[in-house]
Amino acid sequence: MSNISISPGKNNVGAYIKNLDLNILEAAQIKEIKNILDKYGVVFIKEQNLNSETYQNFAKSLGQLVEYPRLKGLENYPFINVLERKPTDKSVVFGGSFLHQDTSYLNKDRPRYTMLMGIEVPKNQGNTIFSSGFNAYKKLPEQIKEKIKFAKGIFSSAGPISKTRRELEARSGIKSKEVMEAEHPIVHEVNGQKSLYISPGHLMKIKINENENEELKKYLIDHVNKDEFIFSYEWKKGDIVVWDNLSIMHKASEIKNCTRIMHRITIK
Ligand SMILES: [Fe+2]
């Protein structure tokens, strides 16, 4: 057994993993990390400062790497996307304003995990905000749980969050392709634990028996945004955070007048 220890994040959102050095990762530890991800949805591994090779290898140990359909990768590491915020950037921050689950608008091959490493982290800003779909589901009234048992969400790449992507696309020279849209159940199960999957940044409609229910959509979006389900994670350089998109929603917080660089990998 390894010496890994965990402590839950605020509001029981995710878990910090301690006594783990990803530079000398052992096979048994990969299994442990996966189990912790299944249980908590997101893990925070502080100050690892991996080089790109080791970082990408850690990602590969969790599954198959996928290319993000919107962005280019690093030159020798095409699966590592660079998210860079410059002091002169004035637009709303990429991935900000709306909680979401990454790429929920794909029918097939939705990335299960998203991983970030802090490369350049500003002080006192640039947190990533997480909301637990596990905890949000648990706290729903029983009659709502019953009502949404077979409900479907329609998710679109042109959903409310899409405006935050445009500056990044303009810089990378990759233009938005056609609008992508997918339908998924809004309740998912991860290792026996039910989770709310509503990706507010991409959600267009909620349907119950083919009927659209706008009221329920608003109710659920307000629900997952409640403070009691939220943990605002403060980054340090070299931190690695991995989340399961089936059970965790996230968004970027606003950043002003500073540089912030993250390396991002998505995994099937
Ligand atoms: Fe995201």
Residue 247 region by backbone torsions, left for phi larger than 0, else alpha for psi between -120 and 50, else beta: alpha
Neighbouring residues of 196: CB distance < 8 A, sequence distance ≥ 6: 133, 136, 137, 140, 186, 187, 220, 223, 224
How many angstroms does the Cα of residue 3 sit away from the middle of ligand 1?
Answer: 31
Are 209 and 234 spatial neighbours (Cβ–Cβ below 8 Å)? no
Instruction: Quote the pLDDT of residue 141.
Output: 98
Give the model confidence (pLDDT) of 136-145 as tens digits.
Answer: 999 999 999 9
How many angstroms does the Cα of residue 103 sit away from the middle of ligand 1?
Answer: 8
DSSP state of 96: B
What pTM value is reported for the model? 0.93
How many angstroms does the Cα of residue 228 sit away from the middle of ligand 1?
Answer: 21
Give the chain's mean pLDDT: 93
Instruction: Quote the pLDDT of residue 25.
Output: 93
User: Which domains, and CATH codes, for the chain?
Assistant: 5-267 (3.60.130.10)
Closest CA to 26 of 49, 62, 45, 2: 2
How many angstroms does the Cα of residue 1 sit away from the middle of ligand 1?
Answer: 34
How many angstroms does the Cα of residue 249 sit away from the middle of ligand 1?
Answer: 8
How many angstroms does the Cα of residue 78 sit away from the middle of ligand 1?
Answer: 18
Q: Residue 182 is inside which H or E element, if any? A: strand 181-185
How many angstroms does the Cα of residue 242 sit away from the middle of ligand 1?
Answer: 12
What number is the average pLDDT over the span 162-176?
68
Give the model confidence (pLDDT) of 31-72 as tens digits.
Answer: 999 999 999 999 999 999 999 999 999 999 999 999 876 677
Instruction: Quote the pLDDT of residue 72.
Output: 73
In the chain, how long is the greatest CA-to-CA distance?
52
Are 116 and 128 spatial neighbours (Cβ–Cβ below 8 Å)? yes
